[in-house]
Amino acid sequence: MPYPVTASHPTASHRIAVLDAAPATVQARVACVLHDESGFRVASSRNETGHDGIGNMASLLEDVLKEAGWERPDLVVVVTGPGSFTGLRTSCSLAAGLAFGYDCPVVGVTRGEALAEALSAYATEHGLDGWLCVTAARSGRWFVESAAPDSLTPGSVVAVRQDDWEIPSGCWLIAGDVVDDVLLKAPLSLKIFPVREEASMQEIAKSGLKRLEGQTAPRPALPLYVDPPEAKLPAAGLRARPE
C-alpha cells in the first residue's frame, strides 16, 4: 500500500466491496474493505490473473464475502477504467448486479482517481505542475489521466499514440504501469512517483466512499471506454436478417 489510508474523520463503519479488472495486464482483483474510525482495512481479498480470472470474478467475490463474514456490503466500488474492454464490462456488470441484489449504492472510480490523493499530495509537496497517470492500452497507445497538483479528481482521460503524444510543458509527476517508456520522451520534465503499482484496494474504497459522500463529482459505475473496442466483421460478412 503506497501510503497509510486513514479516515478523514470518525464515522460509522462501512462494508465496501471493491472490484477491479481494468489493467491491460488482464487480472481480476476483488476485496472486502472495512471502513471505521481507524481507517480502511482489507477484511479479505482475491487476485487472479489472466482471462480465467476475469471470468471467475463472481466466484472470487463470493469467496471474499464469505471469508469476511459479510451477509451484504453497504457499498460497491468498481474501477471503471481506463483499461481492458472485457475486464471493464465484466467488473461493471458484476458491480451493478451486486448492488441491485443487495439494494446498496454502487459508484465508479478511475485508476487515476484511486491514486489521486497520494499523487496530489506528492505533486504539491514537490512544487510540480500536476500529475499524469499513464497506463498501457492496445499496441502503440497509452491511456493518460492528468490533474493539477491540488485536484483530487483527474481533469481528463484520453487515449494517445505513444509516438505522437507530447508531454505537457512544465514539470509533472508521472505514475502508471508504463513509466519507463514515458520517461524516454521527456526525462527532465518528469518526476517519478515512488510507488509503481496499481492503487491498493483501500485507496479504491476510500475514493469510492468520497464519491458517495459527494466530496468528488459523480461518476456512474459504467465502463470508461476511452479507446474503441477491437471488433471486426466476420470474414464472410454478417448473416442475413431472419425472415
Residue 40 maps to a domain: yes
What domain range includes position 143? 112-192
The pLDDT value recorded for residue 12 is 74
84, three cell numbers: 481492458
Query: Is 215 a residue whose pLDDT tops 70?
Result: yes
Predicted confidence band at 228 (pLDDT cuts at 50, 70, 90)? Answer: low
Q: Within this chain, do residues 131 and 102 fall inside the same structural domain, yes or no?
A: no
Q: Within this chain, do residues 136 and 183 fall inside the same structural domain, yes or no?
A: yes
What's the structural domain count of the chain? 2
Burial class (CB in 10 A: 0-12, 13-18, 19+), 42: middle
Query: Is 65 a residue whose pLDDT tops 50?
Result: yes
The pLDDT value recorded for residue 120 is 92
The pLDDT value recorded for residue 243 is 62
The pLDDT value recorded for residue 16 is 98
Q: Within this chain, do residues 67 and 123 fall inside the same structural domain, yes or no?
A: no
Residue 49 maps to a domain: yes
CATH number at residue 154: 3.30.420
Condensed to tens digits (0 to 9), the pLDDT of residues 96-125 reads 999 999 999 999 999 999 999 999 999 999
Predicted confidence band at 188 (pLDDT cuts at 50, 70, 90)? Answer: confident
Q: Within this chain, do residues 28 and 140 fall inside the same structural domain, yes or no?
A: no
Q: Within this chain, do residues 33 and 152 fall inside the same structural domain, yes or no?
A: no
Condensed to tens digits (0 to 9), the pLDDT of residues 32-46 reads 999 999 999 999 999
Mean pLDDT of 5-22: 76
Predicted confidence band at 6 (pLDDT cuts at 50, 70, 90)? Answer: very low
Residue 237 maps to a domain: no
Task: Please provide residue 28's backbone torsions phi and psi, each rounded to the nearest 5 degrees.
Answer: -115, 130
Residue 241 maps to a domain: no
Mean pLDDT of 78-94: 92
Degrees to nearest 5, angle at CA 235 with 233 and 240: 70
Query: Is 2 a residue whose pLDDT tops 70?
Result: no
Query: Is 238 a residue whose pLDDT tops 90?
Result: no
Q: Within this chain, do residues 72 and 144 fall inside the same structural domain, yes or no?
A: no
The pLDDT value recorded for residue 227 is 66
